Amino acid sequence: MTQDVSETAPFEVREPVLHRIPFVFNSPHSGRSYTRAFLQQSRLDDVSIRRSEDHFVDELFQSAIDLGAPLLLAHFPRAFLDVNREPYELDPRMFDGPLPAHANISSLRVAGGLGTVPRLVAENMEIYRGRFPVKEALERIETIYKPYHACLRRLIARTHVRFGLAVLIDCHSMPGNIRLAGTGQRPDFIVGDRYGTSAGADLSRAAVSLLEDLGFSVSRNKPYAGGFITEHYGRPARGLHALQIEINRGLYVDEATLRKKKEFPLLAKTIGIFLAGLAAHVEKYSGITSMAAE
């Protein structure tokens, strides 16, 4: 788990041999490379600090590459930096020194301890032993956050130019105890499209239907409709669609030990079937099949 910064890049793009489908996959919260310096700043043990990870989601969606789409994935952990936030959602109580005037210090996410540089991991556990220099937080944004989003923008733009449309799948996981209000149902998947603003309704319905046909219980937008990435990059009127896919961690990981369950390989294979079905749906209704075969 622990690595020096020099030993691993903050993120990487895993490219297919040929970009065959108009999709980009993004796993911003599955990073699990914790630097020694960061762990020394934290009051949490090696397991507790990992509670905010989207555990192994990058591996669950690895089949996207074989289907012909790039996968962008973070190696840095979400507890260190959250790229699914505005660039400057920062809590002034965390830092020594003043924040820049353009920092958003009053968002609900900041109030909840889940800003760009988080104060908490899941279950309301404080990450840091004390305040640390604001310069360090701003360096994380400049050296990791901004390059990450620049890379994601390039992938989406490249896809849009090649195919005439681009579908971003933002890949996440959720705690196993999530229940739907009023029903008590525990969804296996949640498909988020920001209530129809980040992706075409037909695409969202197709994603829900495909997952249900595979035997999963699926919710749309509740309780997670999509975060900053889905909202920021989804422009369906311009042929830019963004869906957030949340997977219930209870399906594939022991949330006490954070080890994979025996069901993990089957779930990964089933997700591959889902992705192939979604790609076929998009190709069928978008008229880009011949281009994809070039």
- pLDDT (tens, 9 = 90+) of the chain, 294 residues, equals 544 444 579 999 999 999 999 999 999 999 999 999 999 999 999 999 999 999 999 999 999 999 999 999 999 999 999 999 999 999 999 999 999 999 999 999 999 999 999 999 987 999 999 999 999 999 999 999 999 999 999 999 999 999 999 999 999 999 999 888 878 789 999 999 999 999 999 999 999 999 999 999 999 999 999 999 999 999 999 999 999 999 999 999 999 999 999 999 999 999 999 999 999 999 988 765 434 434
Give the tokens for residue 25. 């996959």
Give the max Cα distance, the chain. Answer: 57
Distance separating alpha carbons of residues 3 and 37, to the nearest angstrom: 10
pTM: 0.95
Which candidate, 42, 53, 33, places its Cα nearest to that of 127? 42
Domain 5-79+165-292: give its CATH architecture.
3-Layer(aba) Sandwich (3.40)
133: left (phi over 0), alpha (psi -120 to 50) or beta: beta
DSSP string for 168-202? EEEEEEE-TT---TTT----SEEEE-TTTTSS-HH
> What count of Cα atoms within 13 Å lies in the side-chain half-sphere of residue 31?
29
Chain Cα centroid distance, residue 11:
13
